[in-house]
């Protein structure tokens, strides 16, 4: 009986650790330095409507990170939102599309935003 119990506990620990690793792997991380992400955001006019820590025309980057915290599909959703634009999530004022923005730059900026827009 002890052996069965210990085996069950060990299996549970392995499953929990594997699940945690899968969830952590799905969480966005920023593969770009904060300075580079900010430069990309400035170059593509993101800062005209967004700020890191306060609402301007659109939500702050920190508000966006908080809203999508724990959402494994957030990176893909927000990449699409940046590229195609849209409205309704943060109000009726539409976000313009950024179809001319490099897709790699979109991924870098969105990853940085979802990582909490760190400054360092």
Q: What does the CA dihedral 96, 69, 103, 83 come to, rounded to 10 degrees? A: -20
Please tell me whether 46 is known to bind a ligand.
yes
- Whole-number Å distance between alpha carbons of 95 and 30: 23
Please tell me whether 20 is known to bind a ligand.
no
63 contacts: CB under 8 Å, gap ≥ 6: 55
49 contacts: CB under 8 Å, gap ≥ 6: 56, 57, 58, 95
- Whole-number Å distance between alpha carbons of 95 and 87: 6
Q: Which two tokens stand for residue 37?
A: 């992400």
> Which segments are annotated as binding site?
46, 50, 95
> Which segments are annotated as binding site for heme c?
46, 50, 95
């Amino acid at each position: 009986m002890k052996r069965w119990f210990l085996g069950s506990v060990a299996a549970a620990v392995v499953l929990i650790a594997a699940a945690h690793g899968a969830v952590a792997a799905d969480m966005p991380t920023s593969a770009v330095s904060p300075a580079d992400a900010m430069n990309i955001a400035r170059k593509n006019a993101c800062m005209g409507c967004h700020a890191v820590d306060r609402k301007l025309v659109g939500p702050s980057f920190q508000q966006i990170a908080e809203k999508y915290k724990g959402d494994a599909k957030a990176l893909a959703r927000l990449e699409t939102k940046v590229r195609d634009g849209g409205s309704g999530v943060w109000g009726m004022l539409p976000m313009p599309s950024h179809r001319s923005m490099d897709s790699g730059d979109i991924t870098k900026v969105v990853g940085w935003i979802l990582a909490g827009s760190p400054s360092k």
